[in-house]
Chain A
Amino acid sequence: MSDLGLPPRVRRLFRLPWRSASHVVIDVDDELRFHLDMRAAELIAAGMSPEQALARARQQFGDADDVRRHALAVSVGNRRRARLRELALGLVQDVRFAARQIRRGPLFAGIAVLTLALGIGANSAIFSVVHHLVLAPLPYRDGDRIVQLMQTAGGGNILLATTQSQLEAWRGRARTIEEITTAASREYNVGSGSDRERLAGAAMEPNLTHFLGARPFIGRGFTPNDARPGAAPVVMLGYGLWQRRFAGRADAVGETIVADDTTRTIVGVAPPGLSVPMSENTPASLWTPLVSTAAELNGVAFAKLRRGVDVGQASHELTAIAKSVPDQPGMFTTHESVRLMRPRDFLGTEFQRALLFLFGAVGVVLLIACANVANLLLVRSWGRQREFAVRTALGAGRGRLARQLLTESLSLAVAGGMVGLILTWTGLHVFRALRPVRLEELDGVGVEPAVLLWTAAIAMATGIAFGLFPTLFSTGRLASDWLRTGRWTAGGTRAARRLRSSLVVGEIALSVVLLVGAGLLVRSFLAMQQVPLGFDPRNLASFTVRFARGTPEQLWSPTFADLLTRVRALPGIEGAAVAGDAPPAMGVGAGELQAEGAPHAPIRLEGFNAVQPGFFHLARIPLRGRSFSGDTTGRAPGPNEAVINERLARRLWPDGNGIGRRLRAGPTAPWLTVVGISGNIAAPGRHGDRYDLQLYVPAMTGFPSTTIVLRSDRPIDALTPTLRALTAQVDPRLEIRRTASSETEIAALLSAPRFAMALVGTLALAALVLSSVGLYGVIAYAVGQRTREIGVRVALGAEPRDIGRLVLRDGAILALAGLTIGLACAAAAGRMIESFLYGVGHTDAPTYVSIALLLGAVGLLASYLPARRAMQVDPVVALSAD
Chain B
Amino acid sequence: MPGHTDDLRHGSLDVLVLKAVSWTSMHGYAIAKWIQDRAGGEFPVVDAALYKALHRLEEDGALRSEWGVSENNRRAKYYSLTPRGRKLLSNEVAGWRRYAAAINAVLETT
Flag whether B95 is at the interface (Cβ < 8 A): no
Interface membership of A61, Cβ < 8 A: yes
Contact between chains at B29 and A39 (CB < 8 Å): yes
Q: Which of A150-185 contact B (CB under 8 A)?
A: none
A5 to chain B, nearest CB (A): 7
Interface membership of chain B positions 21-56, coded 1 if the CB is closer than 8 angstroms to chain A and 0 otherwise: 000010111001000000000000011110110011
Chain B nearest Cβ from A99, distance in angstroms? 29
Is the CB–CB distance between A34 and B58 below 8 Å?
no
B4 at interface by CB-CB < 8 Å: no
In the complex, the chain A residue whose C-beta lies closest to that of B67 is A3
Q: Number of residue pairs across A and B with beta carbons under 8 Å?
A: 71
Instruction: Tell me which residues from 57 to 82 in chain B have a Cβ below 8 Å from any Cβ of chain A.
Output: 58-59, 66-70, 72, 74-78
Beta-carbon contact of A39 and B66 below 8 Å: no
Interface core residue of B29, B70, B78 (most chain A CB under 10 Å): B29
**Contact, CB under 8 Å: A2 / B55:** no
CB atoms of B47 and A5 under 8 A apart: no
Chain B proximity of A71: nearest CB distance (Å): 5
A39 to B47 CA separation, bound complex (whole angstroms): 10
Q: Are B69 and A30 in contact (CB under 8 A)?
A: no
Q: Please tell me the number of chain B residues within 8 Å of chain A, measured between CB atoms.
A: 26
Chain A window 6-48, contacts with chain B (Cβ cutoff 8 Å), 1 for yes, 0 for no: 0000000000000000000001001110110111010000000
- Is A74 interfacial (CB-CB < 8 Å)? yes
A625 within 8 A of B: no
- Residues in B whose Cβ lies below 8 Å from that of A67: 48, 51-52
B21 to chain A, nearest CB (A): 13
Q: Inside 8 A of B59's CB, which chain A residues have their CB?
A: 74, 77-78
- Say whether B69 contacts A74, CB under 8 Å: no
With an 8 Å Cβ cutoff, the count of chain A residues facing the other chain is 28
Q: B101 to nearest A CB, angstroms?
A: 33
User: A1 and B69 in contact (CB under 8 A), knowing A34-B29, A62-B48?
Assistant: yes
Shortest C-beta distance, B99 to chain A (Å), equals: 27
Shortest Cβ distance from residue A794 to the other chain B in the assembled complex, whole angstroms? 66
Contacts of A61 in B (CB 8 A): 47-48
Provide the residues of chain A in CB contact with B77, threshold 8 Å: 27, 30-31, 34
A93 contacts the other chain (CB 8 A): no
CB distance from B60 to the nearest CB of A (A): 10
**Residue in chain B with minimal CB distance to A34:** B76
| Given the contacts A5-B69, A27-B67, A30-B75, A70 and B29 also touching, CB distance less than 8 Å | no
Report whether B48 and A66 are in contact in the complex, using a CB–CB cutoff of 8 Å: yes
- From the candidates A5, A30, A38, A74, name the one contacting B55 in the complex (CB within 8 A): A74
**In the complex, are the beta carbons of B78 and A1 less than 8 A apart?**
yes
User: How far, in whole Å, are A5 and B25 apart by their CA atoms in the complex?
Assistant: 18
Known: A62-B49, A64-B48. A4 touches B69 (CB 8 A): yes
A residues near B (Cβ < 8 Å) are 1-5, 27, 30-32, 34-35, 37-39, 41, 60-64, 66-67, 70-71, 74-75, 77-78
List 26 A–B pairs whose Cβ atoms lie within 8 Å, in order of A's numbering.
A1-B68, A1-B69, A2-B69, A3-B66, A3-B67, A4-B67, A5-B69, A30-B75, A31-B28, A31-B76, A34-B27, A34-B29, A34-B74, A34-B77, A35-B32, A35-B47, A35-B51, A37-B74, A61-B47, A62-B48, A66-B48, A66-B52, A67-B51, A70-B51, A74-B56, A74-B59
Apart from the given pairs A31-B27, A35-B28, 6 other A-B contacts in the complex at a CB distance below 8 Å: A1-B69, A4-B69, A4-B75, A31-B51, A41-B72, A74-B55
Closest 5 CB pairs of A and B: A62-B48, A1-B68, A61-B47, A38-B29, A74-B55
